Structure 1
Amino acid sequence: MNKTAVRTLQQFLADNDSYRARVDGVRGPKTLAAVNATLQTHAGRLPDGADRWSDRRRAVACLQIACQQHKIEVGPIDGLWGPQTEHAADILATLQETGSKPAPWRDQQPLDANPNGWYREAELEQALGSPTRKPPMVVVPCPWKLALAWDLNTCPSGIGCHEQVADSLARVLDRVHGHYGPQRLRELGLHRFGGCYNKRRKRGGTRWSTHAWGLAVDWDPAHNKLKWGRDRARLARPEYDTWWRLWEEEGWVSLGRTRNFDWMHVQAAKL
């Protein structure tokens, strides 16, 4: 049982008026007292001998009951911290934070729209010219305040991109701003701009990056590192589902959604 799970348990106990201390992820005496009081009210759900379980096992059992109450599949109330209980606890944590359960990501497929006729990566050099020459660029104003991810005191007014994708980028930014609003965008870290045009090859590869043509944008790289999957990347969370849908409706491709790495990256080029 990790610290995040303890916080989830404490929040459940607090929501049920049995815990009034800090939600700090520390399984101390106040948490234990609240756990025991809660288990007493749900004694009928516990197997024989549960009164002899360790404090940790009783805490896990209480968290399992919390998941059951929220109709999250958790298995039997046995007080054992296994993969199913850990997964159920993660769902409950998301529900507490966002008000809804995460979408079942294994069933999700990113949109495969291409209304703007983006080229495939393999076609870019022939279609747009050598990436060693700077492409024709346009600065697209951003309707919310950006900050450079590596220098938050620097606030660019727009995003410099290839002229062929500028109109599409402007539409996406306007729709994102209209949906989330500036305050929520900042809360989500979507003001942390990680760059667009950059004449370089792919990190960890030998081919030219789509950044070399000004066709890709990176967002909040510190919380969506190159090798991170959906278990760690912030942009993989359910509160960003609309964010990705608005990009995908314009044909932009998320490497996170399609390949489960480099969640910071979205590009106007097909794979």
Structure 2
Amino acid sequence: MNKTDVRTLQQYLRENGTYSGKLDGIRGPRTRAAVGATLEAHADTLPEDAGTWSDRRRTVVCLQLACRERKIEVGPLDGLWGPQTEYAADVLATIHRTGKPPVPWRDQTPLDVNPNGWPREAELRQVLGSPTRKPPMVVVPCPWKLALAWDLNTCPTGIGCHERVADSLARVLDRVYDHYGPERLMELGLHRYGGCYNKRRKRGGTAWSTHAWGIAIDWDPAHNKLKWGRDRAHLAGAEYDTWWQIWEEEGWVSLGRTRNFDWMHVQAAKP
């Protein structure tokens, strides 16, 4: 549960007349008091031991109540922050922001947009030069703490990538951080960084990998192996929907979402 989720809850509490403070995303005294008043009013719908829960768990169950009142499927009122509660909170935030629930984009094909003009893979040598020469590199700082997937004690502060994709990557990382927050990113394994620039050919193929130009990134490779499909790859789970949407809105391509293999991989090039 991050600041965005707390702000969503504060807006609900304000609309219900129990909160008059700022929408600052902080679980301060006013927010806790409003949560307490709301839970007391709904005591008959809560588990019997809800009064013994921690402040955080009581905050979560209050947000679950808010979602249920909007008829958003949120699961049991248990005060536990899982994928279903996180998704329901995102839906409620969208309703607050736009007045209507989000379009069920998961049922649609991946976004096919290219706002940054990424080249197609067949054009990479012509556009970006030879893959055997190291490209012009920029290190993009990462807002959350990374750890090398194969050595979790090594923590790079940024991602070295081709200068052409650096601004787009920075926007993606900032939006991901704002949405998930550091704790949730670690829970999801999105701190396990699998590398960007690597002068090599595609594994299992003869063509040069997009990694050779520094325009592809791997995430949590141990749980998203090359040949794994939706039935096994972690990054195919519903809790990563917003993660992929943010990348796709910048034109980056997930091989998992488009071809159902190599779910670790996302690239700034069209297949």
TM-score by length of 2: 0.63
Give the Cα separation in 2 of the matches to 1:228 and 1:169.
25
**Structure 2 counterpart SS, 1:99:** helix
**Structure 1 counterpart SS, 2:247:** helix
Check if 1:125 corresponds to 2:125.
yes
Name the residue aligned to 1:116.
116
Name the residue aligned to 1:258.
258
Name the residue aligned to 1:194.
194
Shift of 1:104: 8.9
Name the residue aligned to 2:68.
none
Name the residue aligned to 1:216.
216
| 1:226–1:105 Cα change, 3 Å | farther
Name the residue aligned to 2:136.
136
Shift of 1:156: 0.2
Check if 1:153 corresponds to 2:153.
yes
Is the Cα contact below 8 Å between 2:106 and 2:241 reproduced in 1?
no
Shift of 1:99: 2.1
Shift of 1:176: 0.2
Give the Cα separation in 2 of the matches to 1:97 and 1:180.
12
Structure 1 runs of 4+ with >6 Å offset: 100-106
Total equivalences in the alignment: 180
**Structure 2 counterpart SS, 1:139:** strand
Give the Cα separation in 1 of the matches to 2:196 and 2:131.
14
| 1:177–1:97 Cα change, 3 Å | closer
Question: Residue by residue, what CA displacement relative to the aligned partner does 1:57-89 show, whole Å, maximum 9, x if unpaired?
Answer: xxxxxxxxxxxxxx9xxxxxxxxxxxxxxxxxx
Question: Residue by residue, what CA displacement relative to the aligned partner does 1:174-223 show, whole Å, maximum 9, x if unpaired?
Answer: 00000000000000000000000000000011100000000000000000
Write the mapping of 1:219-230 to structure 2, written as runs, cut at 5 A: 219-230=219-230
Gaps of 5+ in 2: 1-46, 49-72, 74-80, 89-102
Name the residue aligned to 1:269.
269
Question: Residue by residue, what CA displacement relative to the aligned partner does 1:10-62 show, whole Å, maximum 9, x if unpaired?
Answer: xxxxxx99xxxxxxxxxxxxxxxxxxxxxxxxxxxxxxxxxxxxxxxxxxxxx
TM-score by length of 1: 0.63
Name the residue aligned to 2:166.
166
Name the residue aligned to 2:232.
232
Name the residue aligned to 1:244.
244
Give the Cα separation in 2 of the matches to 1:106 and 1:251.
17
Write the mapping of 1:95-114 to structure 2, written as runs, cut at 5 A: 97-99=82-84, 107-114=107-114
Give the Cα separation in 2 of the matches to 1:209 and 1:189.
24
RMSD (CA atoms): 2.4
Give the Cα separation in 2 of the matches to 1:108 and 1:229.
18
Q: Which amino acid aligns with 1:99?
A: Q
